[in-house]
Amino acid sequence: MEAGSATLIEKNVDRAASALFAAAAAYSAYTAIAPNFSGPLRAAGATVVAALAFLVCFRVLNGVKPEKRRLPVPVFDVRQIDQEEPPVLLLTDRVEEPPPPGEEPLVLDDVLAELGPDSRVVRLFDPRTMPTPGQLNDRIERHLLGEAAPAAPQDASQALHDALAELRRSLR
């Protein structure tokens, strides 16, 4: 935004605020002098109060100047940016140049197919191990009746750590 348009916007906001203050002052003067004066004198008095309130408020708001910026923003020069970035996103410490397009076919390896059958990480949401709707209903009924669960599952944290370690080894 240019400085000229910003100053024009600020001046218009000052005018609007002064007009609102003048309207409020005129209304309060009109209601304050209502019992003592007739209609035309009340309107004239409210008009004079509104004009004075507008002038005073506008002069006060014009006298307020914005503070100087504490943290000046330097000019951003695009030419200072280095263009020496690696051509691929680095997820490891090794930098491998990608093969030119069209020379090598893309081969997708399914790493999860190589995991052992006792791996719990892969079988976390296996549909064969999920409870059936009847088993879920039995669990809910036991919970609502306040019965204890049949048996607490054993602590499988060590098995989980072993499975994660096996997964890490297979990914290397």
Residue 114's alpha-carbon distances to 120, 127, 150, 171, in angstroms, are 14, 19, 35, 10
Q: Which pLDDT score is estimated for 19?
A: 95
Mean pLDDT calculated for residue range 86-109: 66
Task: Return the exposure string of 62-78: e unless at least 16 CB atoms fall within 10 Å of the residue's CB, then b.
Answer: eeeeeeeeeeeeeeeee
User: Phi, psi at residue 91, to the nearest 5°?
Assistant: -110, -10
**171: which residues sit within 8 A by CB, 6+ positions away?**
111
Residue-wise pLDDT tens digits, 127-157: 677 788 888 898 889 888 887 766 656 677 8
Confidence of residue 47 (pLDDT cuts 50, 70, 90): very high
C-alpha 119, offset from chain centre: 39
Q: Which residue has the tokens 């096996």?
A: 166
